[in-house]
Amino acid sequence: MSSQPPYPIHESILPKLDAQYRDFYNEHLVNKQQVHLQPVAVSRVGGTLIPGSGPLQEVASTVDYSLPRKESHGPEVKLRCFTPLGKKPEGGWPVCIYFHGGGWVLGNIDTENVIASHLCSRGKSVVVAVDYSLAPENPFPAAVEDAWEATLWLLNEGKEILSLNVEKLATGGSSAGANLAAVMCQRAVARGTKLFKLQLLSVPVTDNTADTTNNSTWKEYKHTPALPAPKMLWYRNHYLPNKEDWSNPEASPLLWEGDWAKLPPACLVIGELDVLRSEGEQFAESLEAAGVRTEVHLMKGQPHPFIAMDAVLQAGSRAITIFCEALYRVAYQ
């Protein structure tokens, strides 16, 4: 790949690519610099992480909090809490703790506000988005510890402040954020509790040992737009600079050796042309093999970022709807 744009869609991908994504890419993205070919600081100030998202959905309130730590050391963890319109259910609001994507390197508390607002408005649940620490300044396990601190806050102070029913606690995220959501479910089980009732995982990173030599979709889709193999490795090397951590289950939840049968039901949306496709499918297969209710939605012709592009991709809008419906079912049925 050239170090400078334009970056035309690779010939190995073009015949398989969704037409809506192809057209949007060729009009808006082909001349944009690739984030892994420039300094991190430049990418962080470069505007919207993934263009193509729709409008925010109406909610009753959006409030930011900073919370002190209970188990780890570092600065306060920042959260954004979305509360739905309407009357609070008896027993309190169902709640979903959500983690944005960005390869543990990019993104912030604003990155996936649109998705969070959909989950809040249409899932009729409080949604808590976590502004976790980013690499390379804060490598693994900083993001994991921040995610866990946010979870602990919800179960304690947050429960009262936000009027939550923590018996209806879900988690979710996209890409690196889905990795953190899966890890939270496993950490909860490892600590002897089944906190979560649902995990919503969009294009999850589940195996940080995967690459083009040992993984079928890494090899087949290494030239895919949005997340080609070199870009994923760029993220990994920032987040996991010590290679011995790549196989740590809190970095690679597919490799977890705990009791999978105790994990919560899962809803996964996966891109057909994503390098991460097979590890997402393998994660779902491990859940299903343990008897965990799991639904997998494969988005045909889609590369990695479709869920953040709901204004321009039918697959993005559909993925958000799938998540909202799954959250509502757990919260109210």
DSSP assignment of 120-181:
HHHHTSEEEEEE---TTTS-TTHHHHHHHHHHHHHHTHHHHHTTEEEEEEEEEEETHHHHHH
The DSSP bridge partners found for residue 103 are: none
Question: So which residues are the catalytic ones?
Answer: 175, 274, 304
Is the bond preceding 89 in cis, omega lying within 30 degrees of 0?
A: no
Q: What is the DSSP letter of 85?
A: S
230 close to 36: Cβ distance less than 8 angstroms: yes
Per-position b or e across 132-167, b if 16+ CB within 10 A of its CB? bbbbeebbbbbbbbbbbbbbbbbeeebbeebebbbe
- Distance, in Å, from the CA atom of 182 to the CA atom of 191, rounded to the nearest integer, reads 14
Tokens at 289, concatenated: 């093999």
Tokens at 14, concatenated: 């073009």
Number of DSSP helices (H) and strands (E) in the chain, helices first: 10, 8
